């Protein structure tokens, strides 16, 4: 453990069954008597729109073996009386923002990790709010009383151990995972429970007879690097509770990329319709890019056909940008270059190679209207933020042939953080 870890105290706040909890609280406030959290229920996409997957589940639904990401027809087979409610992403962002504003009262260092998770650096805040354990219980109870939903709070000497602690047992719990507790609390857990150990990595580790986090922590680091390259060193450090990444103050975590994708209600067979879908996705990605005060240099398009085959195409731009129409111009070119005229079921847009928008490299090839495009995007962002995504609509969508994205698409509208670091 590094010396900096021993001096820090980090909280990880995680909303229990976020989408479903927020929907349940909203329904109760609207006068409904039934609490979705107390019955087998899920938040799920529309099967008619071909987005029929489980996005969030209640604890009673979990007892039937229903898992997040499962298709709805399978979930209904497990629980015939399952209650399914459609997602409401605007509501979820409002709830997330209320939680964020509440947490800002307890530390100047607060990092939003995802829509339902955040890190809070409690180091040095004891004189204001007391012992960290007492403060965590006070925060948890306040959220439940004032906002109506429950959270888990994990406490550790760094972000990694705080996150692991928060996942130990749910819901509505506070857990600690300090350096002296790692061997007893974290090492016995299955290796697949470790942050950043996904399905494929877990499979490789099991082939090496590494079944628990403790096995990974005690494994030879050189051996792991030989099998897993530099990633072996990363997960070895995590298994030993080593993480020196700071809590980034601000609304967004530094991201490797931002993307949005959607499964379309019907099979697309015309590039004219595909361009509309891609423009809608590009608007969503570009808005979040600007909100993160970032610019991108790599743009990629993803296509999934009606036969479920998948391919993508990407290009590196001459200069970084966050202007919607500049990104869309590249998106449209990429699509036209790679589409093989198959029936399209799913489209996606992703931007990577991000940098801050504080300073932008100018180019002699920039058009004269660049500053006007930036001002236009900024004005539209302000209007949509204040009055909703549908308050300003491009004329190309006015015929109603394809409705633009409205705050999400089947649970894929929010950035996925690739690493704590």
Residue 69 pLDDT: 83
Verify that 199 and 348 share a domain, yes or no: no
Verify that 277 and 389 share a domain, yes or no: yes
Verify that 287 and 388 share a domain, yes or no: yes
Verify that 305 and 352 share a domain, yes or no: yes
Number of independent structural domains in the chain: 3
Verify that 85 and 175 share a domain, yes or no: yes
Output the domain CATH number for residue 87.
3.30.70.270
User: Does residue 58 fall inside a structural domain?
Assistant: yes
| Whether pLDDT at 3 is above 70 | no
Q: What is the mean pLDDT of residues 258-274?
A: 89
| Whether pLDDT at 386 is above 70 | yes
- Catalytic amino acids? 117
User: Does residue 393 fall inside a structural domain?
Assistant: yes
Residue 411 pLDDT: 35
What domain range includes position 300? 257-397
At residue 360 the predicted structure's pLDDT band, cuts being 50, 70 and 90, is: low
At residue 47 the predicted structure's pLDDT band, cuts being 50, 70 and 90, is: low
User: Does residue 403 fall inside a structural domain?
Assistant: no
Residue 412 pLDDT: 36
At residue 407 the predicted structure's pLDDT band, cuts being 50, 70 and 90, is: very low
Cβ burial of 91 (10 Å; 0-12, 13-18, 19+) is: middle
Residue 405 pLDDT: 58
User: Does residue 30 fall inside a structural domain?
Assistant: yes
| Whether pLDDT at 409 is above 50 | no
Verify that 298 and 376 share a domain, yes or no: yes
Verify that 120 and 58 share a domain, yes or no: yes
Encode pLDDT of 302-318 as tens digits: 999 988 889 999 999 98
Is the peptide bond preceding residue 171 cis, with omega within 30 degrees of 0?
A: yes
Verify that 177 and 198 share a domain, yes or no: no
Higher pLDDT among residues 96 and 47, named by residue: 96
| Whether pLDDT at 418 is above 70 | no
Verify that 67 and 83 share a domain, yes or no: yes
Encode pLDDT of 197-219 as tens digits: 988 999 999 999 999 999 999 99
Verify that 102 and 12 share a domain, yes or no: yes
The pLDDT mean for the chain works out to 87
User: Does residue 232 fall inside a structural domain?
Assistant: yes
Verify that 377 and 296 share a domain, yes or no: yes
Output the domain CATH number for residue 347.
3.30.1490.100
Q: What is the mean pLDDT of residues 167-196?
A: 95
Q: Which of 149-153, 188-192, 289-293, 366-370 has the lowest mean pLDDT?
A: 366-370
User: Does residue 409 fall inside a structural domain?
Assistant: no
**0.95 exceeded by the pTM?**
no
Output the domain CATH number for residue 198.
1.10.150.20
User: Does residue 404 fall inside a structural domain?
Assistant: no
Verify that 167 and 306 share a domain, yes or no: no
Q: What is the mean pLDDT of residues 70-90?
A: 89
User: Does residue 261 fall inside a structural domain?
Assistant: yes
């Amino acid at each position: 453990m590094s010396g900096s870890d021993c001096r820090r105290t980090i909280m990880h706040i995680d909303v229990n069954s976020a989408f479903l909890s927020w929907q349940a609280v909203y329904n109760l406030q609207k006068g409904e008597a039934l609490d979705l959290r107390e019955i087998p229920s899920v938040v799920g996409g529309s099967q008619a729109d071909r987005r029929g997957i489980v996005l969030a589940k209640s604890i009673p639904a979990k007892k039937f073996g229903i898992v997040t990401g499962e298709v709805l027809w399978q979930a209904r087979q497990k629980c015939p009386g399952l209650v399914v409610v459609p997602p409401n992403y605007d509501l979820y962002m409002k709830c997330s923002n209320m939680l964020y504003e509440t947490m800002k009262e307890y530390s100047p260092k607060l990092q939003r990790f995802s829509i339902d998770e955040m890190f809070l650096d409690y180091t040095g805040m004891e004189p204001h709010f007391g012992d960290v354990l007492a403060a965590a219980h006070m925060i948890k109870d306040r959220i439940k009383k004032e906002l109506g939903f429950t959270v888990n709070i994990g406490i550790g000497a760094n972000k990694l151990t705080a996150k692991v602690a928060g996942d130990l047992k749910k819901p509505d719990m506070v857990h600690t995972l300090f350096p002296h507790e790692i061997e007893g609390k974290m090492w016995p857990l299955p290796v697949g429970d470790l942050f950043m150990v996904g399905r494929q990595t877990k499979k490789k580790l099991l082939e090496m007879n590494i079944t628990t986090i403790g096995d990974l922590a005690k494994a030879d680091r050189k051996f792991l690097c030989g099998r897993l390259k530099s990633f072996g060193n990363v997960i070895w450090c995590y298994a030993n509770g080593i993480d020196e990444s700071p809590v980034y103050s601000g609304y967004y975590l530094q991201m490797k990329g931002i993307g949005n994708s959607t499964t379309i209600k019907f099979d697309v067979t015309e590039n004219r319709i595909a361009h509309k879908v891609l423009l809608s996705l590009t608007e969503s990605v570009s808005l979040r890019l600007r909100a993160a005060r970032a610019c991108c240099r790599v743009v990629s398009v993803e296509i999934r056909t009606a036969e479920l085959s998948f391919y993508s195409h990407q290009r590196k731009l001459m200069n970084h940008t966050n202007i919607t129409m500049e990104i869309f111009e590249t998106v449209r070119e990429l699509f036209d270059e790679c589409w093989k005229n198959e029936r399209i079921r799913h489209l996606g847009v992703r931007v990577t190679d991000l940098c801050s928008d504080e300073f932008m490299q100018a180019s002699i090839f920039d058009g004269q209207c660049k500053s006007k495009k930036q001002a236009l995007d900024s004005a539209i962002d302000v209007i949509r933020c204040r009055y909703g995504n549908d308050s300003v609509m491009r004329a190309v969508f006015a015929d109603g042939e394809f409705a633009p994205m409205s705050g999400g698409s089947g649970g894929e509208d929010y950035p996925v953080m690739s690493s704590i670091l």
